[in-house]
């Protein structure tokens, strides 16, 4: 009797889920699309499809100038660590049980085990090259996003975008996704 109820409940759940997914329930949050509501969004009067709007991270403007800043490094010192090992020993306990019942005996003996104990210890200092400022490629734009008041804005870009900007003519229209602002 219990198995039959479980089977009916399972079939009912599958039927309700199927109707809900197809939008046949009517009372759910899904709505059918009225064909009269569809408009010619994204098409111009000539009937051609317009390009999607650029990503919000993308900037466009007129190329002003380019700048490459090399990485800035300096010499610095830090503690020099070396691995120092010492030999050591420890006692290891061994037991062996033999017999059963009242004739049970336990034999215990110890052995000496050798091992290496290693630690990193400071031994003077070492010099190394520390990077103060990473390498940057920058492009300056005028008339950013069509706003004539936004001139001479610097953007950090990838080396590939920098190469395109360097080869482009002065005041050529450019569009790219910057990796950062300022330079």
User: Is the pLDDT reported for residue 35 higher than 90?
Assistant: no
In a domain, 154, yes or no: yes
Q: Which of 9-18, 28-37, 91-100, 118-127 has the lowest mean pLDDT?
A: 28-37
Residues 64, 150 within the same domain: yes
Q: Do 65 and 146 belong together in one domain?
A: yes
pTM of the model: 0.45
Strand intervals (E) in 99-149 = 105-133, 136-142
Closest alpha carbon to 83 in 127, 48, 113, 123: 123
Is 160 within the bounds of a domain?
Answer: yes
Strand-pair category, 153-157 with 180-181: antiparallel
Number of domains in the chain: 2
> Based on the domain organization, do 126 and 141 belong to the same domain?
no
73 within 8 A of 131, measured Cβ to Cβ: yes
Is residue 89 predicted with pLDDT exceeding 80?
yes
Domain span holding position 126: 76-130
Which letter, b or e, does each residue of 24-58 get, where b requires 16 or more Cβ atoms within 10 Å of its Cβ?
A: eeeeeeeeeeeeeeeeeeeeeeeeeeeeeeeeeee
Q: 132-161, pLDDT tens digit by residue?
A: 999 999 999 888 888 878 788 899 999 999
67: helix, strand or coil: strand
Question: Does residue 52 register a pLDDT over 80?
Answer: no
What is the pLDDT, as a whole number, of residue 5? 73
Q: What confidence score (pLDDT) does residue 136 get?
A: 93
Of 130, 146, 172, the last residue of a domain is 130
Same domain? For 81 and 124 the reply is yes
């Amino acid at each position: 009797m219990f198995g039959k109820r479980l089977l009916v409940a399972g079939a009912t759940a599958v039927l309700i889920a199927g109707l809900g997914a197809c939008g046949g329930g009517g009372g759910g949050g899904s709505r059918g699309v009225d064909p009269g509501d569809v408009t010619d969004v994204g098409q111009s009067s000539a009937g051609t499809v317009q390009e999607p709007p650029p990503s919000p991270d993308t900037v466009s403007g007129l190329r002003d100038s380019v700048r490459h800043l090399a990485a800035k490094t300096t010499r610095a010192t830090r503690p020099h660590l070396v691995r120092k090992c010492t030999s050591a020993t420890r006692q290891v306990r061994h037991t062996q049980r033999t017999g059963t019942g009242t004739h049970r005996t336990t034999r215990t003996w110890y052995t000496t085990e050798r091992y290496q104990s290693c630690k990193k210890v400071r031994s003077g200092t070492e010099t190394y090259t520390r990077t103060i400022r990473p390498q940057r490629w920058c492009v300056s734009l005028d008339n950013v996003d069509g706003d004539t008041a936004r001139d001479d804005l610097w953007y950090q870009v990838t080396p590939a975008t920098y190469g395109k900007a360097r080869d482009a003519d002065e005041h050529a229209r450019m569009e790219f996704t910057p990796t950062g602002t300022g330079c």
